[in-house]
Amino acid sequence: MFRYIVKRLGQTLLVLFCVSVFSFFLIRMAPGNPAVMMLPDGASEEAIQEMEVRLGLDQPLYVQYFKYITGVLKGDLGTSTAYRTDVAQIIAQRLPNTLALTAVTVVAGCLFAIPLGIIAGSHKGTAVDFFTMLFALLGQSMSPVWLAVLNVFVFGVWLGWLSTMGTGSVAHYVLPVATLAYPMAAQIARIGRSGMIDTLQEDYITATYAKGIRRFTVNWKYAFKNALVPIVTLVGMQTGAFIAGTIIVETVFSWPGIGQLLNLSVGNRDYALVQSVLLVSAAFFAVINLIVDIINSLIDPRINLR
């Protein structure tokens, strides 16, 4: 296990290096000049050139990248050109909001979808199974943009029940969490149902039934454990995706997280902020994948991490 973790951490460092390279050069290929963004409208060419020198944009790209990656290794993520403050401080303020939204979404989706998928898989062909498949079909067919706008219109504008902007109370979580949790829950329910159906067809399950053990015990003590591996993998991937890419939901609901921050920083050509948000998101995604692999190995001893 220790050797595997060390190996994965080495791979993670390589991934983060590649992310830093791609984010650094791709953001500079987009049109726009941070120096122009920082100056008033109608600034002279001399003023723009002077600002470029102050920001280091007049230097070759490889020199700029070397300074950036050297700063990252020292814990310095740079200074935001739009907010005029340290990037690390901005991310530290925004990241907890995204983590809180992600945690509530994952817990809410799992608490509903995992039992639903397991029950549907163990009662194939029943009304519960039909409801689960309909639930999964609708959830995976809906666009997050469409679902977010629909929730805002129905529950925020038309009925006026819930707040549609910002944070501050439990009510602010309802619509963003519902928008993110429904598609995730649909996938979990479908995967859980399929895994349960496949597991219940195994020979050892038939042998367990032959011993006279109750169906409820067989489903939840023996079959559920093996059906849980793909669910854990899916939840891990979704969690990483929420941390890295809740741009649409955070923008629609004005949620002050790193997704909304990334959207604003791209528009402002805030190089340091874009690069750092992508780097932090990639780091979280890699760590979550490592945790998922370890959990799966604990659930199913047949999974050999080596």
User: DSSP assignment of 221-253, as one string?
Assistant: IIIHHHHHHHHHHHHHHHHHHHHHH-HHHHHHT
pLDDT at 46 (0 to 100): 77
Rg (CA), the chain: 24
Lowest mean pLDDT among 83-87, 172-176, 217-221: 217-221
Q: What is the residue-averaged pLDDT of the chain?
A: 82
Domains along the chain with CATH numbers: 2-73 (no CATH), 91-299 (1.10.3720.10)
In our burial notation (b when 16+ CB lie closer than 10 A, e otherwise), range 58-94 reads eeeeeebbeebeeebeeeebbbbbbbeebbbebbeeb
Whole-model pTM: value is 0.80
Residue 14, Cβ neighbours under 10 Å: how many?
11
CA dist., res. 281 & res. 291, Å (int): 15
Using one digit for the tens of pLDDT, what is the confidence trace for 112-158? 898 888 888 888 888 888 998 998 888 888 877 888 888 888 887 88
- Please report, as a single letter, which amino acid is at residue 270: D
Least confident of 134-138, 179-183, 205-209: 205-209
Give mean pLDDT, residues 1-19: 79
CA distances in angstroms from 242 to 237, 255, 284, listed in the order given: 9, 13, 10
Confirm if 78 and 87 have CB atoms less than 8 A apart: yes
Q: What is the pLDDT of residue 107?
A: 92
The one-character DSSP state at 57 is T
